[in-house]
């Protein structure tokens, strides 16, 4: 080593070593511990519940606001439990939901919680016309019956209304506080509401935690709400650090600098299986990756044939794709996650899934008049996908699988947003894309597959499928409704333009001293029950 | 001299405006739609939501009016509001620019401290062991991919040897010092908060070294070759003939001239580091300008793209002006007119 730089580097390393690794400042008041999380927040644009539509923001809103009702647990997503509503009644026509509200609840500000807060929050979500505003499309009006009773009136029967109300966007705000900072639920709130910047730094709710600050690309800090109606949380403070690199998150959680690492990729998690300093929590993600094929013969005469699409569904080796994820995935029959009403269990999926059968695939191709196969271009996004495996590796697998029945897939990788722009322009022959739920309800998935979103992009307009979807979405008897979605899924396997490719599992790495942390789709986790020993 | 500076500053305005115009045209010519990157799949099907989004961000106006709006903002000392952060871009820059300035300055200082001596000694002992080491170091420094170096150095020095602190500007549960400049080291020192100061410095070391690696390679190579060139000049032969000691010749006569290309390289590299540290900033969870610029680009956050372009354009041209002024100090033969 150069004798000039030798001492210099020793000084630098000495400086680095002397840096304090012990927590010194910012200890939470009133006892309790700080939960330090590594969370990729690159996507977070806003924390305003009326405007946010991103994973990191959903996490913050879920922990700083309460909703009227909630999904019972990550394993029982189709059952709802009371939160700010203690009971509810659905009118026989499915249009009116009347909620009795929990008495003696105070927001973090000390303001009492009343029916006006519910009216304000849901109306504002609708009139802001923000990214999640469409979820309030079914809502006609919110009627305050008395301070502790509120009725939501819908335009037509909509069975997933409780699912929508359980999501982080349906957070109940402290209307008085929010209005003081410029929030509005007027019909022109998209122009009148001035609260976003304030709501990005403060929460206006009564959830278990209070948003203290958000420094974009750096850290989100929440402190527990001492007046929380269920009693204060065990964790005194949440420090969600923005760590975009999965490899860095892995090092931090292994080193004990963070308690929870949320975005460690499956290949890196696999390397930690024998590490006693970490626990790997596995949850069922509801994110799907799928292939969509055009239904328009003008774009591709072969793919537009029903038998050809069936042949492709029989030829894609989906067990092989699960192997590519090291077994960290499941696969359902359509772009519809296992765990949701109608596809409650793996057994339901097994019954409906198209079977891997090359002979049958070839027979179907022959029946379609293309026994020797054909070519088609397949567009997909480069980079990571939410399903825990890259689009590229799945696309290559599809290519090699379809080669076995004589179909020549030409792979067209594109930057993801470019791919999505082209896909949305409704002129693509075949794409690999993904879906993350907007709310955890069956209608979200049938809506996109059949009624709007992807169906028009793939030029699929099927009156029968649409009728089935509309009826199921309106059916308020859960048992009957579940059967209707099973029929829809079977219809999609037979006729639809989709090949579902993979539904990932979420793997969260936590330190062994963290108890009670459970992965929750659409919002990462509720920190309220978490304990740090 | 002052006329020269005034003229350069005038040219700078033209250059920076040109850069913003080019950047505006390119970012709108890219075949990616801001609706796609900013609205969800369902929201982008609802005409009223799309319309509200376009109105809010001024995307419903013709392109030339959008650019004029940017210029009008600029005239008022504003840069508009970012779609990604929903606040004034001047506020964003005030947050992200100091983080990057701190890191880039550290990296340049490291590169200077290691690269210049190494280049000088390599030139003096041409083809000797130091020269071989210098050439190897500079080759490795220039050619090693920075994301790889960043990851490996974290694995080695942070996770395995525990010699350095982890990523980020400060450790977990260490609060940022009261804001004065946004440079944590400076703000902590001003507040005489030495614990935070030490923590901030400690967090600068590893990313600083990683970022310095490529610049150091460049500095070493340029210093070595210009030093070799200087050492073979007639005026040095004269100096030697006069019997001056070799160390004096190197330090007083050769070095000053040899440093001109080094300063040029450093100036350019510093400008590059301000916007081009995306990889290092991502891996070290550094909330800097590079990541902000990258996010703005991939989400078609046009106002932020323009804001970043403008600031980087200004910084780049200013650094270059400074470099040109340094030439005159290094070589008095250079005249400004």
Give the pLDDT confidence of A160-183 residue by residue, as tens digits. Answer: 999 999 999 999 999 999 999 999
SS3 A146: strand
- Tell me if B43 and A247 make a contact (CB, 8 A cut-off): no
| ipTM at complex level | 0.86
| Candidates B172, B217, B277, partner chain A, best to mutate (most A CBs within 10 A) | B172
Q: Do A131 and B175 touch (CB under 8 A)?
A: no
Q: How far is CA B325 from the centre of its chain?
A: 19
- Residue A23 above 80 pLDDT? no
**Which residues in chain A are contacts of B85 at CB distance < 8 A?**
45, 216
Going from the C-alpha of B317 to that of each of B15, B21, B264, the distances in angstroms are 8, 16, 12
Check CB contact under 8 Å for A197 and B86. yes
Of residues A8, A15, A244, nearest to B114 (C-beta): A8
Please answer yes or no on whether B42 and A453 come within 8 Å at the CB atom.
yes
Which range is least confidently modeled, A108-117, B96-105, B295-304?
B295-304
Tokens (6 digits) for B19: 């850069």
Facing A244 at nearest CB: one of B40, B203, B282: B282
Answer yes or no: are the C-beta atoms of A167 and A161 closer than 8 Å: no
pLDDT band at A5 (very low <50, low <70, confident <90, very high): very low
Residue A243 touches chain B, beta carbons under 8 Å: yes
Helix (H, G, I), strand (E, B) or coil at A79: strand
Report which of residues A172 and A416 the model is more confident about: A172
**Could you report the per-residue pLDDT of B277-334, keeping only the tens digit for each?**
888 999 999 999 999 998 898 888 999 999 999 998 898 888 888 888 888 777 777 7
Residue A192 to residue A180: CA distance in whole angstroms: 13
pLDDT of residue A1: 33
Cβ-Cβ contacts under 8 Å between A and B: the total is 210
Query: What backbone torsions phi and psi does residue A33 show, to the nearest 5 degrees?
Result: -115, 165
| Alpha carbon of A26: minimum distance to chain B alpha carbons (Å) | 6
Least confident of A122-131, A241-250, A493-502, B4-13: B4-13
pLDDT for position A4: 34
B60-67: long-range contacts, CB 8 A cutoff, minimum separation 24: B63/B28, B66/B24, B66/B302, B67/B21, B67/B24
Give Dmax over CA atoms of chain A in angstroms: 86
Q: What is the pLDDT of residues A424-446, one digit of tens each?
A: 888 899 999 999 999 999 999 99
* A contact residues 442-501, partner B, Cβ 8 Å cutoff: 447-448, 452-454
- A16: nearest CB among B113, B164, B167: B164
Alpha helices (H) along chain B: 2-29, 34-38, 47-56, 63-75, 89-124, 129-143, 146-153, 184-190, 194-231, 234-241, 246-248, 255-276, 278-283, 289-298, 302-330
Q: Is A11 near chain B, with CB under 8 Å?
A: no
Is residue A487 pLDDT above 50, yes or no?
yes
Cα distances from A313 to residues A402, A493, A500, in angstroms, run 10, 8, 9
Q: CA angle at residue A180 from A175 to A184, to 5 degrees?
A: 60
Q: What is the pLDDT of residues A255-305, one digit of tens each?
A: 999 999 999 988 899 899 899 999 999 998 999 999 999 999 999 999 999
Q: Which residue has the tokens 């001596």?
A: B117
Angle at A341 between CA A337 and CA A346, to 5 degrees: 55
**Per mean pLDDT, which of A112-126, A313-327, B221-235 is the most reliable?**
A112-126
Contact A245 B166 (CB under 8 A): no
| Residues in chain B closer than 8 A to A23 (CB atoms) | 171-174
Contact: B202, A258; criterion CB under 8 Å? no
Tokens of A468: 């089935």
Contact A245 B205 (CB under 8 A): no
- Which residues of chain A have a CB within 8 Å of the CB of B202? 15-20
- Give contacts of A417 with chain B, Cβ < 8 Å: 32-33, 36-37, 298-300
State percent of chain B over pLDDT 90: 47
- Closest Cα to residue A101, out of A160, A166, A172, A159? A172
The string over A145-177, giving b where at least 16 C-beta atoms fall within 10 Å of a residue's C-beta and e elsewhere, is eeebebbbebeebbbbbbbbbbbbbbbbbbbbb
A29 contact B CB<8A: no
Question: Does A19 have pLDDT greater than 50?
Answer: no
Nearest to A19 among B39, B172, B202 (CB): B202
Asked if pLDDT for residue A6 goes beyond 60, the answer is no
Q: Does A166 touch chain B (CB under 8 A)?
A: no
In contact, A252 and A94? CB cutoff 8 Å:
no
Map residue B21 onto helix, strand or coil.
helix
At residue A20, the pLDDT reads: 37
Phi-psi label, residue B212: left if phi above 0, alpha if psi -120 to 50, beta otherwise: alpha
| Matching residue, tokens 């009118």 | A91
What would the two tokens of residue B259 be?
């440093």
Check B167 against A248: CB less than 8 A apart: yes
Rounded distance between C-alpha atoms, residue A43 and residue B83, angstroms: 12
Residues 360-419 of A with CB under 8 A from B: 415, 417-418
- B151 CB neighbours in chain A (<8 A) are 245, 247-248
The whole-angstrom separation of Cα B184 and Cα B187 is 5
Contacts of A424 in chain B (CB under 8 A): 33, 36, 44
- Flag if A247 and B151 touch (Cβ within 8 Å): yes
Confidence at residue A31, expressed as pLDDT on a 0 to 100 scale: 56
Pair type for strands A279-293 and A329-330? unpaired
- Inter-chain residue contact B133 with A422, CB threshold 8 Å: no
- Among the partner-chain residues B85, B171, B300, the one whose CB lies closest to the CB of A20 is B171
Contacts of A452 in chain B (CB under 8 A): 42, 45
Residue B130 has pLDDT above 70, yes or no: yes
What value does the mean pLDDT of chain A take?
Answer: 91
Instruction: Name every residue whose Cβ is closer than 8 Å to that of residue A278 and which is 6 or more positions away in sequence.
Output: A253, A254, A272, A509, A510, A511, A512
Of B121, B168, B198, the CB nearest to A20: B198
Q: Which neighbouring-strand residues pair with A282?
A: A507
> How is residue A193 written in tokens?
């509401």
Q: Of B260, B263, B229, which Cα lies nearest the Cα of B108? A: B263
Res B267: pLDDT: 85
The whole-angstrom distance between A445's CA and the closest CA on chain B is: 11
Rounded to the nearest angstrom, the minimum Cα separation between A11 and chain B is 10
Using the beta-carbon criterion (under 8 Å), do A134 and B199 form an inter-chain contact?
A: no
Amino acid B276: pLDDT: 67
- In this model, does residue A521 exceed pLDDT 80? yes
Residue B197 CB coordination number (10 Å): 20
Q: Do A134 and B37 touch (CB under 8 A)?
A: no
Residue to mutate among B168, B185, B224, B300, with most A CBs inside 10 A, is: B168
User: Over 60: is that where the pLDDT of A400 sits?
Assistant: yes
Nearest CA in chain A to B162: A17
Segment A513-521 mean pLDDT: 93
Of B86, B283, B284, the CB nearest to A46: B86
Q: Determine the distance in angstroms separating the CA of A235 from the nearest CA of chain B, rounded to an integer.
A: 14
Give me the pLDDT at residue A290, please. 97
Lowest model confidence (mean pLDDT) among A195-199, B76-80, B201-205:
B76-80
A23–B83 CB contact, under 8 Å: no
Distances (CA, A) of A314 to A317, B228, B332: 8, 70, 79
Q: How far apart are CA B263 and CA B269, in angstroms?
A: 10
Inter-chain contact B201–A19, Cβ cutoff 8 Å?
yes
Could you give the CA distance from residue A219 to residue A213 in angstroms, rounded to a whole number? Answer: 8
pLDDT of residue B3: 86
Q: Among candidates A147, A187, A145, A139, which has minimal Cα distance to A164?
A: A139
Q: Which positions ≥6 away from A56 have C-beta within 8 Å? A: A39, A40, A41, A43, A44, A220, A240
- H or E element at residue A283: strand A279-293
Query: Is the Cβ of A251 closer than 8 Å to some Cβ of chain B?
Result: yes
Torsion region of A94: left, alpha or beta (phi above 0 gives left; psi -120 to 50 gives alpha): left
């Amino acid at each position: 080593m150069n004798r000039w730089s030798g001492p210099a580097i020793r000084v630098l390393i000495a400086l680095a070593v002397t840096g304090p690794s012990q927590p010194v400042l910012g200890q939470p008041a009133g006892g309790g511990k700080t939960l330090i999380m590594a969370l990729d927040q690159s996507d977070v644009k806003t924390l305003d519940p009326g405007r946010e539509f991103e994973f990191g923001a959903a996490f913050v809103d879920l922990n700083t606001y309460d909703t009227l009702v909630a999904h019972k647990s990550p394993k029982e997503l189709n059952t709802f439990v009371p939160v700010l509503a203690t009971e509810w009644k659905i009118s026989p026509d499915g249009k009116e939901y009347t909620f009795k509200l929990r008495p003696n609840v105070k927001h973090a500000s000390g303001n009492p919680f009343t029916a006006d807060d519910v009216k304000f929050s849901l109306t504002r979500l609708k009139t802001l016309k923000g990214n999640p505003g469409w979820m309030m499309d079914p809502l006609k009006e919110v009627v305050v019956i008395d301070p502790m009773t509120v009725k939501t009136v819908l335009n037509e029967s909509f069975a997933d209304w409780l699912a929508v109300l359980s999501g982080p966007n349906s957070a109940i705000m402290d209307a008085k506080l929010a209005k003081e900072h410029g929030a509005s639920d007027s019909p022109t709130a998209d122009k009148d509401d001035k609260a976003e910047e304030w709501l990005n730094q403060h929460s206006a709710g009564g959830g278990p935690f209070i948003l203290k600050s958000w420094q974009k690309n750096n850290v989100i800090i929440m402190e527990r709400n001492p007046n929380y109606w269920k009693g204060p949380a065990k964790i005194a403070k949440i420090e969600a650090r923005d760590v975009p690199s999965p490899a860095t998150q892995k090092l931090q959680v292994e080193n004990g600098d963070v308690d929870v690492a949320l975005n460690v990729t499956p290949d890196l998690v696999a390397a930690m299986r024998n590490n006693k300093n970490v626990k790997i929590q596995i949850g069922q993600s509801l994110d799907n990756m799928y292939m969509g094929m055009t239904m328009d013969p003008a774009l591709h005469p072969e793919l537009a044939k029903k038998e050809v699409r069936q042949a492709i569904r029989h030829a894609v080796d989906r067990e092989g794709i699960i192997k590519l994820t090291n077994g960290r995935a499941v696969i359902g029959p359509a772009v519809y996650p296992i765990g949701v009403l109608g596809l409650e269990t793996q057994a339901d999926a097994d019954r409906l899934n198209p079977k891997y059968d090359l002979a049958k695939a070839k027979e179907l191709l022959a029946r379609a008049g293309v026994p020797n196969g054909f070519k088609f271009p397949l567009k997909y996004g480069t980079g990571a996908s939410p399903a825990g495996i890259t689009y590229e590796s799945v696309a290559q697998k599809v290519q090699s699988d379809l080669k076995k029945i004589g179909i020549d897939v030409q792979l067209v990788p594109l930057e993801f947003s470019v791919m999505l722009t082209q896909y949305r322009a409704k002129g693509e022959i075949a794409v690999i894309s993904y879906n993350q739920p907007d709310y955890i309800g069956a209608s979200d998935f049938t809506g996109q597959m059949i009624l709007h979103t992807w169906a028009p992009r793939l030029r699929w307009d099927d009156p029968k499928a649409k009728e089935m979807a509309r009826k199921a979405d309106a059916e308020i008897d859960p048992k009957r409704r579940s059967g209707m979605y099973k029929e829809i899924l079977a219809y999609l396997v037979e006729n639809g333009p989709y090949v579902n490719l993979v539904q990932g599992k979420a793997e969260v790495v936590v330190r062994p001293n963290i108890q009670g942390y459970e992965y929750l789709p659409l919002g990462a986790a509720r920190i309220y029950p978490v304990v740090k020993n | 001299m002052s006329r020269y500076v005034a003229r350069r500053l005038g040219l700078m305005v033209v250059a920076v405006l040109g850069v913003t115009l080019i950047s505006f045209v390119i970012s709108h010519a890219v075949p990616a739609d801001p609706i796609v990157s900013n609205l969800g799949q369902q929201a982008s099907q609802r005409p009223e939501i799309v319309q509200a989004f376009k109105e809010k961000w001024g995307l419903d106006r013709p392109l030339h009016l959008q650019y004029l709006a940017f210029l009008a903002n600029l005239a008022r000392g504003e840069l508009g509001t970012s779609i990604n952060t929903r606040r004034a871009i001047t506020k964003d820059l005030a947050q992200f620019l100091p983080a990057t300035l701190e890191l880039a300055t550290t990296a340049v200082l490291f590169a200077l401290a290691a690269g210049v001596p190494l280049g000088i000694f390599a030139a003096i002992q041409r083809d000797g062991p130091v020269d071989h080491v210098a050439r190897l170091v500079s080759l490795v420094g220039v050619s090693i991919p920075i994301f790889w170096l960043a990851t490996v150095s974290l694995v080695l020095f942070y996770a395995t040897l525990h010699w350095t602190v982890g990523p980020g500007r400060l450790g977990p549960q260490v609060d940022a010092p009261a804001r004065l400049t946004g440079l944590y080291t400076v703000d902590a020192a001003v507040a005489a908060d030495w614990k935070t100061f030490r923590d901030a410095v400690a967090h600068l070391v590893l990313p600083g070294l990683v970022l310095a690696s490529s610049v150091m390679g460049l500095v070493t190579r340029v210093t070595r070759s210009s030093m070799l060139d200087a050492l073979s000049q007639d005026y040095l032969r004269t100096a030697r003939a006069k019997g001056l000691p070799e160390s004096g010749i190197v330090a007083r006569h050769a070095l000053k001239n040899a440093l001109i290309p080094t300063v040029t390289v450093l100036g350019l590299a510093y400008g590059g580091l301000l916007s081009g540290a995306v990889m290092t900033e991502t891996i070290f969870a550094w909330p800097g300008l590079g990541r902000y610029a990258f996010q703005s680009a991939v989400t078609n956050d046009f106002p932020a793209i323009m804001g970043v372009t403008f600031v980087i354009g200004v910084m780049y041209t200013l650094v270059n002006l400074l470099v040109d002024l340094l030439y005159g100090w290094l070589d008095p033969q250079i005249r400004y007119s």
